Structure 1
Amino acid sequence: MTGPVPELEDRAIACAKRLCAADRVLLASHIDADGLTSAAIAAQALERAGIPFETVFEKQLDEDAISAIADTDYDTVLFTDFGSGQLDVIGEYEDAGDLTPVIADHHQPADRETDYHLNPLLFGINGASELSGAGASYVLARALADVCSGSRAAAADGGERVDESRSSSEHRSDGGAVAESTGPTARADNRDLAALAVVGAVGDMQAAGGELHGANAEIVAEGVEAGVIETGKDLALYGKQTRPLPKLLEYATDVHIPGISNDANGALRFLDELDLELKRDGEWRRWAGLTSEEKQTVASALVRRAVSRGVPATKIDGLVSTAYVLSEESVGTELRDASEFSTLLNATARYERADVGLSVCLGDRGGALERARQLLREHRRNLSNGIDLVTREGVTQEDHVQWFHAGDRIRETIVGIVAGMAMGNAGISRSKPIVAFADKNDEEVKVSARGTHSLVRKGLDLSIVMGDASRAIGGDGGGHDVAAGATVPKGNEEAFVERADEIVGEQLS
């Protein structure tokens, strides 16, 4: 095997050999975009290797969830996009002979070792910015194609597509046809799965500075070679595939351009002044449908407007980033753009429909895709309402952090997204990490924290903040340096904030 990440190759092969030797496997995965793509990559790799499996999803891999997994009659459990941070608990069941864990994750590991643990952090690779959970699953998938070929009843052409329509169901094949444009070689060695790995990395906010780096970039290169990914410089605006041009510009707030951003009439006037055919049959065109010359005209005009309105040069540079396009998906759909694809997946998982997101990842372009789009519309409404709530009511400022408590007014599954999107609004600073609380149940509160890459460069590590502050009050948490979460006993929020504020102060001093 010549995999995309040489540092992980030996461990990936060891994990693949263990999976290949199993009679069947329980695949357990997280539910966000990175978790769903991780599961989809693993599911297709197991299918192609001829390894029977069942898929389950967990919003949080706590002790109850691990106990339930251990109580199944599966000897081998593949954890994707979680498991590392819970290895101390998983290890107890491993010691008791209840299961053999195989872990493909990128989160901070607990202080425990196990034989089949594929995590970039164990090999000097940053799991928050250089390799996502989906990336770890992809490295494992590449090893599976090599290790299991010929040793099991794996189809030479990569096998059939899987359709998982429930979040916990016995694995089955629907016999559906799979597009062969990637060619048999890319499917046989699983390089075609690089597209999902890129979606997972983008969804995990790993495209720092508008581009994927490190091991992620190596996976991108394999996807390009396999014909499933196209890259190139493009406007760094969300919605280039699906939003009408006026809405694309109006909602482009990462780089605020006075007179266009958050200004529907201003965006219309800006476009009307351009000597371009920006409407067809009475409908506004989408960015993805413009020619290269038309895109250049719009981009140049945007830059001129930004300069004339005093936008700093460093901000203007942020108008351009690397685009990651899934070349096998239809132009003008959410699935064509890695960022829009990941948002669609997040919308399914946050509303307890991980099964829908998985089905979309596995190729369902019918009912599952339409249901995902419905969930996305609901998700956007809820995000908008949540951001309006936080902006209107404001946040509480401490010395080193800022925070708000949404109670039951924002779903605990999206409160972290709301917090991150609200940063920079009136009264909400981007110079401090933001901590958000939302009710999880009658006894527990979900805590989500978001920072910026600039703060991370200064020493911020929210994984440590969430973990230490939550455990100090009888909870638990973790995640990444720029985004992390925890669950704490209700009534202890102020004590949590006090401890989190101390830790952030120490990190940034």
Structure 2
Amino acid sequence: MTGPVPELEDRAVTCAERLCEADRVLLTSHIDADGLTSAAIAAQALERASIPFETVFKKQLDDQAIADIAATDYDTVLFTDFGSGQLDIIGAHEDAGDFTPVIADHHQPADRETEYHLNPLLFGINGASELSGAGASYVLARALAEVSDNEPDPSVAADGGTVTASGTANARADNRDLAALAVVGAVGDMQASGGELHGANAKIVAEGVDAGVLETGKDLALYGKQTRPLPKLLEYATDVHIPGISNDENGALRFLDGLDLELKRDGEWRRWSGLTNEEKQTVASALVRRAVSSGVPAKKIEGLVSTAYVLPEEPAGTELRDASEFSTLLNATARYERADVGLGVCLGDRDGALERARKLLRNHRRNLSEGIDLVTREGVTHEDNVQWFHAGDRIRETIVGIVAGMAMGNEGISRSKPIIAFAEKRAERESATANRSDDVPAADEEIKVSARGTHSLVRKGLDLSAVMGQASRAVDGDGGGHDVAAGATIPKGNEDEFIERADEIVGDQLS
């Protein structure tokens, strides 16, 4: 069997064989949408291979977090969506015999190698745009299905039904049904540049479509097509700003009232997902005409259409049906110390976990809105090559990077410079089973740094992973990530020196 990414297959099989040799495994993962889907994919693959495991989540894989992992009695540790950038620390514990690491990650590796290391960057595949952490976990899951001695019932299909007489492939038996989660992770990791997934991600999409767990097609590139009433869908559509509609509640209503369509049923606004194809075409055409007449550049107008990734087995009109909305729902869980809730949703809990996730999502949206308003109102400080703000304790460190990215383009906040955000770092208190942590006081010693850029800046040479890594280490911190989005932790009081160094590095990259 050839895996979805042939370049990674041999290494994936090696990692899978090591996991199958383990008596039990400690699975540890990051907390964002990519990390949660990575953990969910790995958890289901381990369970199907009859490998006992326990799951923990970490906001940051620093020295203390790795030491805590080493202090457990697990001999085998599977790291998903992080671990590559901390290989020097992990390797020291491996050398000491504390545990054997198996890593499925896509971040820039540290200058150290280990035998069971699955990372696209090691094989010439871009980990920032072609394969996410969830994608790496999916490649590993496919290999686990291949090497495991455990044989799932071949009569069981991906949806829990039976295989049809036509010989439909058993997607659950070879873990292809997990492709949907891999796509949710990639979309959540902002890898759908230009409106669609590319490279190795596209191969995973193809497997998901073949398995019946994904559907794709061109659609309006607006967030909330499944859940937002039409006026709100258009009002909040700011990626492509359309004068008189975007950020204009009355304008969006007037636009819709001018269309010859049934836009309400039983007194309620319809949602995009409930429109017929003909109705969607009517709205989309009118939007394009308005954009053209308002002077929106042609290149921006092209951005109104993108590839939609739909999970057909999920109910229409819910967050879970659309990969983008699903990823946002997941981001709203672990960033508020409820990784267990996000994992539960990924694993199919459609009762308690989903309702808790929706409550967290409402809170998340409110916090994002307040954070964006704060940054826009108070403004940012412009250096020669970067812009920055310090949120202190007014924006949670787990969402300050999202706020920074969403604020770009607002009044006084440029999209032609990367933005750097500081926030006070909260002390982390976790349990081994990822149970909810109570609020704890902010740590006085450390500052969380988040940086966001644009794909246009990346094409010009921006690499925020290098910026965060080099600038943080210059002030006795540490950091890394991707070219378009990265983060760091630095000692409190070193923010000015960090900005000075980061500004120099960005200047060199973009010169």
TM-score, length-scaled by structure 1: 0.95
Aligned to 1:229: 214
Contact residue 157 and residue 172 of structure 2 kept, 8 A: no
What are the Cα deviations for residues 307-363 of structure 1, in whole angstroms up to 9, with x where unaligned?
111111001000000000001100000000000000000000110000000000000
Identity %: 85
- 1:414 correspondence with 2:414: no
Please point out which of 143, 148, 153 is paired with 1:156: 153
Aligned to 1:506: 508
Aligned to 1:144: 144
Pair 180,367 (structure 1): closer, same or farther in 2 beyond 3 Å: farther
Could you tell me how far apart the structure 2 residues matched to 1:63 and 1:199 are?
A: 30
- Residue 178 of structure 1 and its aligned partner are, at CA, apart by 4.4
Could you tell me how far apart the structure 2 residues matched to 1:48 and 1:184 are?
A: 17
- 1:135 correspondence with 2:135: yes
- Residue 155 of structure 1 and its aligned partner are, at CA, apart by 3.3
Aligned to 1:383: 368
- 1:253 correspondence with 2:238: yes
- 1:457 correspondence with 2:459: yes
Aligned to 1:117: 117
Q: How do residues 297-376 of structure 1 correspond to structure 2 at under 5 angstroms?
A: 297-376=282-361
What are the Cα deviations for residues 273-330 of structure 1, in whole angstroms up to 9, with x where unaligned?
1111110000000000000000000000000111111111001000000000001100
Could you tell me how far apart the structure 2 residues matched to 1:439 and 1:101 are?
A: 31
SS at match of 1:304: helix
Q: How do residues 139-288 of structure 1 correspond to structure 2 at under 5 angstroms?
A: 139-148=139-148, 151-152=149-150, 154-157=151-154, 178=160, 185-288=170-273
Could you tell me how far apart the structure 1 residues matched to 2:225 and 2:49 are?
A: 37
Q: How do residues 390-469 of structure 1 correspond to structure 2 at under 5 angstroms?
A: 390-440=375-425, 441-469=443-471
Contact residue 35 and residue 81 of structure 2 kept, 8 A: yes
What are the Cα deviations for residues 161-201 of structure 1, in whole angstroms up to 9, with x where unaligned?
9xxxxxxxxxxxxxxx9466896710000000000000000
Pair 158,462 (structure 1): closer, same or farther in 2 beyond 3 Å: farther
SS at match of 1:249: helix
Residue identity in the other structure for 2:463: D
Could you tell me how far apart the structure 1 residues matched to 2:260 and 2:413 are?
A: 39
Q: How do residues 68-147 of structure 1 correspond to structure 2 at under 5 angstroms?
A: 68-147=68-147
Residue identity in the other structure for 2:359: Q
Contact residue 245 and residue 284 of structure 1 kept, 8 A: yes
What are the Cα deviations for residues 120-157 of structure 1, in whole angstroms up to 9, with x where unaligned?
00000000000000000000000000000xx24x5335
Residue identity in the other structure for 1:225: D
Aligned to 1:9: 9
- Aligned pairs, number: 491
Pair 431,180 (structure 1): closer, same or farther in 2 beyond 3 Å: farther
Could you tell me how far apart the structure 1 residues matched to 2:345 and 2:163 are?
A: 18
Residue identity in the other structure for 1:207: A
TM-score, length-scaled by structure 2: 0.94
Could you tell me how far apart the structure 2 residues matched to 1:290 and 1:180 are?
A: 32
Pair 292,159 (structure 1): closer, same or farther in 2 beyond 3 Å: closer
Could you tell me how far apart the structure 2 residues matched to 1:123 and 1:394 are?
A: 42
Aligned to 2:431: none
Aligned to 1:172: none
